[in-house]
A = this chain, B = another copy of it.
Amino acid sequence: MTRVASFEIECIGFIDAEGKATGDLPDFAADRDVLVELYRWMVLTRTFDAKAIALQRTGRLGTYASTLGQEAVSVGLAHAMAPDDVLLPSFREHGAQLVRGVTMTELFVYWGGDERGSDFAGPRQDFPVCIPVGGHAPHAAGAALAFKLRDEKRVAVCVFGDGATSKGDVYEAMNVAGVWTLPAVFIANNNQWAISVPRRAQTAARTLAQKAVAAGFPGLQVDGNDVVAVRDAVAGALDRARAGDGPTLIEAITYRLGDHTTVDDASRYRDDETVGRHWKEEPIVRLRKYLTASHGWTKQDEETLIETCRSDVEAAAEAYLAMAPAPVEGIFDNLYAELPAELREQRQAMLAEGD
């Protein structure tokens, strides 16, 4: 019996649920402005989220997936990225998309059921959200391969949920990223639930980070409610990728505080008590406490921020609601670069039919 390989999974965190530093913070976190920026993005994300739910409840938005409680993962990872890196988000990374430069109006437009919402004016090469769970992981490998082949120092950042780690396409994508040493970062946003299926029913693996062992590259855990830890871990993985050392899998441990989507009723499968416990760990309060204690964040600062976020969100919502409807021709006109002759008649028929 010979030992031929051994592996270890580590977990990192810097600011605990009480808002206390548990050790030395990474360099970037010494800068108050950076911390405030991270905080602002998280608050904006939460404000946006609440508005989206309100719009859905009043019939002005389609089914929507709330990111409540997961803001640190989303904001932290995107904040670590360089502008010309590429984000491949799941359907719950509104925070990351906002940090990347997707506008709130675009997000409303998409979730309002209009393709124009995925035609981002800002990050032109970021991928649209991926509804089929995990289906974007192979795209991330492809994008990373494109960067590697062109010798660009860019990284493809792919985010998916705990449930997605059970999917074969995610595994295949991670495996090829490993063997081709691709500049990719995979982030498992472990919010403990895949709709009603809890994390423990998804896999016997003790951590999701260890899924990387099968693909032959490093995996690590991070406290996903600590935005400093998320940003730090992702920055490290991005550096590794940019240096040509290949991919990393980061499991960010957080909790889905809301329903799965606006058509879900989480009370069918989990109790309020458990959720209540997790409210004590959520990412925004802890960073506020830390800012207050260490950087003189005041009540006034807080109120100003909340008010700015609120009015920004309202403005975006109004822009969304005021938008002219999409031209119906878009159904045909974006299908191919050039509409094949045989479809011209169908297009005509559609237009003739009217609304």
B7 and A210 form a contact (CB under 8 A): yes
1/0 per residue, CB under 8 A from B, across A307-320: the answer is 00000000000000
In chain A, positions 206-261 with a C-beta closer than 8 Å to chain B are 206-207, 209-217, 221, 246
Which of A111-119, A149-157, A162-170, A292-300 forms part of the interface with chain B?
A162-170
Shortest distance from the beta carbon of A173 to any chain B beta carbon, whole Å: 9
> Does A267 sit within 8 A of B, measured CB to CB?
no
Question: Which A residues from 1 to 43 make CB contacts under 8 A with B?
Answer: 1-12
* Nearest-neighbor residue (CB-CB) of A138 within chain B: B168
> Is A192 in contact with chain B by the CB < 8 A criterion?
no
Contact across chains for B7 and A3 when beta carbons are under 8 A apart = no
Enumerate 7 A-B pairs (CB-CB under 8 Å) in ascending A order: A1-B12, A5-B9, A5-B210, A6-B7, A205-B216, A213-B214, A214-B215
A residues sitting closer than 8 Å to B (CB atoms) are 1-12, 166-172, 175-176, 178-179, 181, 200-207, 209-217, 221, 246
Tell me the bound Cα distance from A348 to B198 in angstroms.
54
Q: Report Cα–Cα, A8/B206, bound state, in Å.
A: 14
**Residues from chain B with Cβ under 8 Å of A175 in the complex:** 166, 203-205
Q: Which of B11, B169, B214 contacts A205 (CB 8 A)?
A: B214
Asked if A1 contacts B6 (CB within 8 A), the reply is no
Can you name the residue of chain B whose Cβ is closest to the Cβ of A180? B204
Give the residue of B9, B204, B221 whose beta carbon is less than 8 angstroms from that of A217: B204
| Interfacial chain B residues near A246, Cβ < 8 Å | 204
| Chain B residues in 8 Å Cβ range of A202 | 179
**Bound complex: CA A2 to CA B215 (Å):** 22
